[in-house]
Amino acid sequence: MSGRSFMQRRRKAFSRLFVAALGAVVLISESYWDARGMIVGDLLFLIGLVLVGVATVGRLWCGLYIAGYKTNTLITVGPYSVCRNPLYLFSLLGGIGLGLANETVTLALVIAAAFLSYYPFVIGAEEKNLLRIHGVDFDRYVANTPRLCPSWNRLREPEEYTVRPRAFRRAIFDAMLFVWMAGVLELVEALHAHHVLPTLFLLY
């Protein structure tokens, strides 16, 4: 634990607090577009579902390679050959997707802004730790692989790869979180429509 930064140690706590705050907003608000019966809300929902699907599959892809290996093994193939932090990239897409699935642009922008404000510090701290562990191998990896924006022409995948089944099973449940949350958003929308939950303000 002593080798981990404050950002790394508090990442989950900050994330849970942020999700709880957004959840509270969702419970007392409603989409402007949905409340007005405009097709914009349906389009936002569709785009959001597409992004949630991409995020779920992407996180499963990352989990296939990284689950059970953590920082002791430098993974540079599969999704980790196109960028150094694909798990965070797909999480960002999933977060934006959930914001849009709520049929609002506002939540998507808030989620994107929060991620881009906080997670670069987390990534920087993690990369310092990886450099300490892997030295010149990580330096070489950094020099040839972008941090977050993927370079798909660099994709390299082995013919065979050893998967840790127990760790991957946990990764599956983590990846499915975005799908489950999209379902919860639909339930909340229905509760608003039936006036079970109050609508104190509208979000664009």
Percent of the chain with pLDDT over 70: 96
Residue 101 has pLDDT above 50, yes or no: yes
- Beta bridge partner(s), residue 203: 31
Q: What is the pTM of this model?
A: 0.91
Q: Is 156 exposed, middle or buried (0-12, 13-18, 19+ CB in 10 A)?
A: exposed
In this predicted structure, what is the pLDDT of residue 65?
95
29 SS3 class: strand
Residue 44 has pLDDT above 70, yes or no: yes
Residue 127: HSE in the Cβ half-sphere, 13 Å Cα cutoff:
19
In this predicted structure, what is the pLDDT of residue 22?
94
- Among 7-21, 30-44, 65-79, the range scoring the smallest mean pLDDT is 7-21
In this predicted structure, what is the pLDDT of residue 35?
86
In this predicted structure, what is the pLDDT of residue 6?
59
Which CATH number is associated with domain 37-203?
1.20.120
CA distance 10 to 152: 32
Q: At what angle do helices 136-144 and 105-134 cross, to 10 degrees?
A: 140
Residue range 153-178, pLDDT digits in tens = 999 999 999 999 999 999 999 999 99
Residue 104 has pLDDT above 60, yes or no: yes
Record the tokens describing residue 53, joined without a space. 């699907």
CA distance 112 to 77: 27
In this predicted structure, what is the pLDDT of residue 1?
41
Residue range 54-74, pLDDT digits in tens = 999 999 999 999 998 877 899
Please report, for the chain, the start and end positions of each structural domain, with discontinuous segments joined by +. 37-203
Residue range 113-161, pLDDT digits in tens = 999 999 899 999 999 999 999 999 999 999 999 999 999 999 999 999 9
Kindly give, in sequence order, each residue whose CB lies less than 8 Å from that of residue 203, ignoring residues fewer than 6 positions away: 25, 29, 30, 31, 32, 102, 104, 106, 107
In this predicted structure, what is the pLDDT of residue 16?
86
In this predicted structure, what is the pLDDT of residue 195?
93
Most distant CA pair in the chain, distance = 60
